[in-house]
């Protein structure tokens, strides 16, 4: 069973930076970060394969966010720079099942979820 725990959220002014962390227990493979704004669906922000050789970014965050992982620490990171008010939301870490071989963007393709961490960007 995989358990995920996010940290690093908070309140930041527009243009600022935050770094989210997702600590995992149990084996993880393809990992993703999702964002859910109030009244909206949970959408993918970024994803990364186990080796880190392949990543995915939503168009809205390309060039501003960077996903990375440290498998020795079982931790995945999301570095968020040049934050905008529209980046506000609850950020969730998620893991695909152990036999998954490719990144998927749909949330229902991810089997394990953390509790989420709030990110608020003020204008």
Rounded Cα–Cα distance for residues 4 and 24 (Å)? 5
pLDDT digits (tens, 9 = 90+) for 56-114: 999 999 999 999 999 999 999 999 999 999 999 999 999 999 888 899 999 999 999 99
Rounded Cα–Cα distance for residues 28 and 113 (Å)? 12
pLDDT at 36: 98
Distances (CA, A) of 44 to 26, 37, 99: 22, 12, 20
Structure tokens at 27: 């084996």
Rounded Cα–Cα distance for residues 22 and 7 (Å)? 6
pLDDT at 108: 97
Rounded Cα–Cα distance for residues 35 and 86 (Å)? 11
pLDDT digits (tens, 9 = 90+) for 15-60: 999 999 999 997 778 999 999 999 999 999 999 999 999 999 999 9
pLDDT at 87: 98
């Amino acid at each position: 069973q995989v358990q995920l725990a996010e940290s690093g959220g908070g309140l930041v002014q527009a243009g600022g930076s935050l770094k989210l962390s997702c600590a995992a227990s149990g084996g993880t493979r393809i990992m993703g970060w999702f964002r859910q704004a109030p009244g909206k669906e949970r959408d993918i922000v970024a994803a990364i394969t186990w080796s880190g050789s392949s990543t995915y970014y939503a168009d809205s965050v390309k060039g501003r966010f960077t996903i990375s992982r440290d498998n020795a620490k079982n931790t995945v990171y999301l570095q968020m720079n040049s934050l905008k008010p529209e980046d506000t939301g609850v950020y969730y870490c998620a893991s695909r099942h152990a036999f998954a071989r490719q990144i998927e963007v749909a949330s229902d393709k991810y089997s394990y979820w953390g509790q989420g961490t709030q990110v608020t960007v003020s204008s």
